């Protein structure tokens, strides 16, 4: 299937009631919203469309919503809700997800990366700072002293130790990389990918896996046949939409796919490498 090129989201609004959109690289550069997002989203809202941000952030969606509102994107005026892979994991925790991984109720887990107190509210007694006592490892945001890493080097000792102990890992951010303005940095998915490539077991939450889309569809009551997903990353956003049965829009003028093209890949090569094609191609939201 050849993706249809469109000039604006308004070109296809008659086909969809609900719009799911990624955040980083699509509407946000890591520090601010891109030009055009406010006006376009406000227009879509006036047309009666529902707009939800679907992010692989491990942060709880309510905190991300507060962050976006402080940056000018207003609930009700520009969008209708925020769903993260952190929300999806928290929902699975209420269903005994960690107990299932550990095979017992008195489990202990070790965190690689930054702690996430709200995500693990009530689970403080299950955390351990001793990897040898852990039943599994949670890979969190890979941030060191507020700095995004440009390699996995600082995290390899813990990953190698966990591998030697044959511990499974849980990753709630399947993205390999993210962009902060012009900086491309490593995220949790890169660590989980390294772990699997070296023989370890990883449990994944978030795009491209259907769990985050199923959760968002359930929480919003959206009809998947009337919902479209916007993303800049074929492997997560577009493949995840396809896996869930959603149409999709690939952003090519900024974000991860744009970065791949800038570094010498053709769009067709990107499609073949990720074994997925979007429904539509859009330069950027403007």
- What integer is the mean pLDDT of 52-60? 95
Which residues are CB-neighbours of 134 under 8 A, at least 6 positions away?
Answer: 108, 109, 110, 128, 162, 165, 167
Q: Check residue 173 and give its pLDDT.
A: 95
Q: How far is CA 96 from the centre of its chain?
A: 22
Confirm whether 4-87+207-282 and 103-204 share one CATH topology.
yes
- Given this structure, which CATH class describes domain 103-204? alpha beta
Q: Check residue 145 and give its pLDDT.
A: 82
Mean pLDDT lowest among 5-14, 22-31, 39-48, 176-185: 176-185
Q: Check residue 245 and give its pLDDT.
A: 98
Res 27 pLDDT > 80? yes
pLDDT in tens, 108-144: 999 999 999 999 999 999 999 999 999 999 999 998 8
- Any idea which architecture 4-87+207-282 has in CATH? 3-Layer(aba) Sandwich (3.40)
Q: Check residue 184 and give its pLDDT.
A: 87
pLDDT in tens, 234-260: 999 999 999 999 999 999 999 999 999
Q: Structure pTM?
A: 0.92
The domain spans of the chain are 4-87+207-282, 103-204
Q: Check residue 247 and give its pLDDT.
A: 98
């Amino acid at each position: 299937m050849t993706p249809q090129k469109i000039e604006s989201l308004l070109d296809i609004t008659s086909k969809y009631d609900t719009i799911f959109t990624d955040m980083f690289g699509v509407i946000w550069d890591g520090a601010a919203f891109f030009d055009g997002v406010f006006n376009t989203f406000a227009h879509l809202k006036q047309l009666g469309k529902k707009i939800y941000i679907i992010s692989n952030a491990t942060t709880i969606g309510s905190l991300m919503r507060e962050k976006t509102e402080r940056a000018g994107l207003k609930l009700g005026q520009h969008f209708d809700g925020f769903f993260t892979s952190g929300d999806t994991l928290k929902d699975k925790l209420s269903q005994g997800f960690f107990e299932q991984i550990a095979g017992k109720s008195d489990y202990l887990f070790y965190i690689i990366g930054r702690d996430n107190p709200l995500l693990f509210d009530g689970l403080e007694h299950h955390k351990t700072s001793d990897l040898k006592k852990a039943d599994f490892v949670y890979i969190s945001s890979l941030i060191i002293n507020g700095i995004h890493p440009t390699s996995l080097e600082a995290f390899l000792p813990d990953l190698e130790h966990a591998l030697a102990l044959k511990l499974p890992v849980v990753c709630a951010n399947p993205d390999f990389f993210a962009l902060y303005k012009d900086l491309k940095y490593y995220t949790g998915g890169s660590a989980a990918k390294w772990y699997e490539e070296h023989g370890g077991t990883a449990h994944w939450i978030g795009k491209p896996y259907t769990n985050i889309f199923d959760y968002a569809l359930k929480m919003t009551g959206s009809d998947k046949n009337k919902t479209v997903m916007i993303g800049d990353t074929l492997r997560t956003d577009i493949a995840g939409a396809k896996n869930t049965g959603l149409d999709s829009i690939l952003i090519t003028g900024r974000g991860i796919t744009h970065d791949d093209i800038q570094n010498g890949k053709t769009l067709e090569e990107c499609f073949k490498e990720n074994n997925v094609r979007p429904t539509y191609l859009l330069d950027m939201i403007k």
